[in-house]
Structure 1
């Protein structure tokens, strides 16, 4: 039971912080100024063979 309590405490504090940092980093990566061309190219991939 002690392991469960320790893991739950970790998930409630540091795990949440790690997920929040990952989310912010992913959002910054997706909305950076130079990513628009890459996103547009990736969006057109399914239609290249048509």
Structure 2
């Protein structure tokens, strides 16, 4: 089982796909650009 916390880097496309799978399993809508914008906004706080 992969660790729940991972270092996120722009080139981690494998991680993005795992996140999308995890969200899909829980019926959560996932939009890459929206998620990225939210994360960038939080990082800027």
**Which structure exhibits the higher relative contact order, with contacts defined as CA atoms closer than 8 Å and separated by 6 or more residues?**
2
Q: Of the two, which has the highest radius of gyration?
A: 1
Give the TM-score category using the shorter length.
0.3 to 0.5
